[in-house]
Structure 1
Amino acid sequence: MLTVGDRFPSFKLTAVEGGPKGLDLNTAFTTVTEADQAGKWKLVFFWPKDFTFVCPTEIVAFGKLAREFEDRDTVIYGVSTDSEFVHMNWRLHHADLKDLPFAMLADIKRELSQGCGVLDKNEGVALRATFLVDPEGIIRYVGVNDLSVGRNPQEVLRILDALQTDELCPCNWQKGEDVLKAA
């Protein structure tokens, strides 16, 4: 699995647009690459499967924080091994996903999941992996949860805040608090 300090892999995936465009068959689909949104931080999070139980709780929670991530010059990409058509159908039929503000990327060939090392060996789907990638394409944070356990998007935001200080941040540090000073 890729880790902190590694370069996030190149990718070119079809995605369902976030927002209202992703609900209209004429405007729903786009191509997303690692070069898009150059100069921004990227939050790339993987989930195992659409139309499941834990996944929408995480996706919706990241969606509710989208403005917070945007305020920190960070773009969100959600990824699973389902197709763009499955993503769109899920958005259309799951009330909590209709207003999703970020793109859902379709890794149907499993190239990005494999490139990141987050493809579950037994299930053949992506693990619940989270990557924070700096504007230069370097991974600065990685977190992976078991398939049955959802992650905490608020904690990912806290970690992004800490990374963006370029300072020493103690345990449970929150934005606005004092950072540590080396003696």
Structure 2
Amino acid sequence: MSVINTEIKPFKASAFKNGEFFELTEADVKGKWAVFFFYPADFTFVCPTELGDVADYYDELQKMGVEVYSVSTDTHFTHKAWHDSSETIGKIKYAMIGDPTMQISRNFEVLREDQGLANRGTFIIDPEGVIQAVEITSEGIGRNAEDMVRKVKAAQYIAAHPGEVCPAKWKEGEATLAPSLDLVGKI
């Protein structure tokens, strides 16, 4: 079952951000754009490259009104230890959610039940808590934060401009399409 166009399910979790632990629920996510960025585990190989890449775009995402939440089935304590011991992870300013009960990973349908780990999944969520975009890759395929930012911009654009859609490789400021009978077979 696809989670596209569904509202995020209830959850409660502990997270680490800016040297502090805090509790987070789905209600805290609503009201602004969000990206949930699932990864298999702390202290691994591809994961720090991805999280570091997202950290490099965090300020830009913040200016766009987007909050980022990274999620793995590790605890918030493990996130702090990784943050304190890795130069790459140490630059992260966004929330790192611990999901040791695997509830959030199940909610977003990225849990590998037999391993207790999340697949690599990126979810773009609108201010109403509705999932607008999903990307899931296998274990060895790292994601690109620059393209994630492009997708967030496209999601924000179409939310603000009903009746328009963003074509392949669309970038902010480029032409969009207004689907109509006149365009059928002409693109």
TM over 0.5: yes
Counterpart residue identity of residue 97, structure 2:
L
1:9-33 CA-to-partner distances (Å, cap 9, x unmatched) read 121110011xxx32xxxxx211111
Partner Cα separation in structure 2 for residue 158 and residue 53 of structure 1: 25
Of 109, 113, 134 in structure 2, the residue corresponding to residue 117 of structure 1 is 109
Deviations 1:103-124 (A, max 9, x none): 1000000011111111014322
Residue 172 of structure 1 is matched in structure 2 by 169
Q: Which stretch shifts more, 37-46 or 48-57?
A: 37-46
Q: Is the 8 Å Cα contact of residues 3 and 141 (structure 1) preserved in structure 2? A: no
What secondary structure is seen at the aligned counterpart in 1 of 2:9?
A: coil
How far apart, CA to CA, are the structure 1 residues paired with 2:14 and 2:130? 23
Q: Is the 1:2–1:116 contact (alpha carbons within 8 Å) kept by the matching residues of 2?
A: no
Once the two structures are superposed, the pairs formed by residues 9-28 of structure 1 within 5 Å of their partners are 9-17=9-17, 21-22=18-19, 28=20
Code of the aligned partner of 1:8: I
Match of 2:178 in 1: 181
CA drift of 1:160 comes to 0.9
Cα distance in 2, alignment partners of residues 122 and 49 from structure 1: 15
Whichever of the two has the greater Rg, that structure is 2
Structure 2: any 5+ residue segments left out of the alignment? 159-163, 183-187
CA RMSD of superposed structures (Å): 1.3
Distance 2:30 2:45 in 1: 33
Query: Identity percentage over the alignment?
Result: 37
C-alpha distance in structure 2 between counterparts of 1:37 and 1:85, whole Å:
21
Tell me, what secondary structure is at the counterpart of 2:111? coil
* Secondary structure in 2 matching 1:87: helix
2:120 is matched with 128
8 Å CA contact 2:40, 2:120 repeated in 1 = yes
Counterpart among 80, 86, 95 of residue 103 in structure 1: 95
Corresponding residue of 2:64: 72
Structure 1 residue matching 2:97: 3-state secondary structure: strand
Q: Structure 2 length as normaliser, TM-score?
A: 0.89
2:32 alignment counterpart? 40
Report how many aligned residue pairs link the two structures.
Answer: 175
The offset of 1:69, in angstroms, is: 1.0
1:53-101 residue CA offsets vs partner (Å, 9 max, x unmatched): 0000000111110111112111000000001111110011101111211
Q: Does 1:149 align with 2:146?
A: no
CA spacing shift, 1:116–1:151, aligned 2, 3 Å: same
Residue 7 (structure 2) pairs with residue 7 (structure 1): yes
